[in-house]
Chain A
Amino acid sequence: MAIVQTMTAKLLRRASRLRKKLLQRNIELADIGRLLDEFEIRSEEMLVVYSSWEELRLKAPPNELINVLKARLSADGCLAFPTAPFAGRLKEYLLTRPLFDVRRTPSCRGLVTEIARRRLDAFRTPQPGCPFSLIGPAAKRLAGMQKDYSSPYSEDSFLAECHRRNALILTLGLNFIQNSGVHYAEKQMNHQLGLFSGERLPYSIRLDEQIIAAESEYLFEADRDWRFIHDGYRRQASFHERELHGTSYSRIRENESFSVFCEAIRQGKIRKTSSD
């Protein structure tokens, strides 16, 4: 029985990949505009964008995509792109005792985020564990909010502000892979999973010419039951998911995303995987 189930699952995955390949083709900025209309993204106060350039296959330059998204902000709005400076684990990054240069350290979260970081109108939040590059009328003010550099999830952090303002989270060509959301929820639930080790690791931040030495409580990696989380999203009122030419797009409000993660933590669907 188990063998049959495994084989069926494999066949279904293969069929899904094949279907995606057949459907995939380039999209235009106008397609993105229509998608944003469909998602009712017209005048957002806070829009957090996760993207995959490869999956998008957009014919227009990344900068024009950012302009299209920026045009959907309110008069005091802010567009946010994750621009973390490491591709692997936070702990490994911090163990190198890095200097995180807010202006110059590249983003390791893909091409769109790096273009966003480089724009003249972008302001980057300074905590190296989970920095965002912010664009829009409120960008400068929000990027300067955080003074507690020990955690990406402190009360004055950008992520906390996203939660307070019930930001809209948009993914372009990606499923929800929100480590930051998981960790923020876990912190708010008083570290029920023990994802925070309490061990403090040093790093430095360069803010213009000023260098600030800081320490961070590093995080364990979290293993997740994505099926559970995805089903959880589907039950939320503001969750919308769309496929266009083989590429996935979705949107959800931060507070609803937060509830999904909290529920997953309560039910033991998110686990600690590393013991280092």
Chain B
Amino acid sequence: MTTAEEVRSEIVRHVVATTRGRVPAERLADDTNLVAQGFLDSIGFVGLIAALEEKFGVELDLVEKPIEEFIVLGSLVKQVLGN
């Protein structure tokens, strides 16, 4: 069963890799807004969603749910876990 820590680590790993280390892991907390704080642009954000869906075998409902549920790190973890 996937844990919150596994999802969080994957998000952090992806953001650090996408930004080529410009954003260090320490700056990414549960209340971090990945887009508004400029860590990811919308193309990078879509890439993150696709990566999480593939890794954890989930389908995130970007169409119907508010986008804020996905761009704040802690909320995104919950969405991947299906909460």
Contact = CB atoms under 8 A, between A and B. Distances in A.
Interface of A: 52-54, 61-63, 87, 106-112, 114-115, 118-120
Interface residues of B, number: 14
Would you list the 5 A-B pairs with minimal beta carbon distance, nearest first? A111-B42, A53-B42, A106-B50, A114-B46, A110-B42
B17 interface: no
Contact of B43 (A61, A62, A108, A118): A108
B63 A110 contact: no
B64 A63 contact: yes
Given A61-B66, A108-B46, A109-B43, 20 more contacts: A54-B41, A54-B42, A62-B67, A63-B63, A63-B64, A106-B46, A106-B49, A106-B50, A110-B42, A110-B46, A111-B43, A111-B45, A111-B46, A111-B67, A114-B49, A114-B62, A115-B62, A115-B63, A118-B63, A119-B63
B74 interface: no
B62 A110 contact: no
B67 A87 contact: no
A114 B59 CA distance: 13
12 contacts: A61-B66, A63-B63, A63-B64, A106-B46, A108-B43, A110-B42, A110-B46, A111-B43, A111-B45, A111-B46, A111-B67, A112-B42
B41 A61 contact: no
Interface string B23-61: 000000000000100000111011101100000000000
Nearest to B71: A111
Contacts of A62: 67
A62 B49 CA distance: 15
Contacts of A120: 63
Contacts of A54: 35, 41-42
A112 B43 CA distance: 10
Nearest to A66: B63
Contacts of B42: 52-54, 110-112
A61 B71 CA distance: 12
Contacts of A61: 66-67
Given A54-B41, A54-B42, A111-B42, A106 B47 contact: yes
Nearest to A114: B46
Contacts of A87: 43
Contacts of A118: 62-63
Contacts of B46: 106-108, 110-111, 114
Contacts of A111: 42-43, 45-46, 67
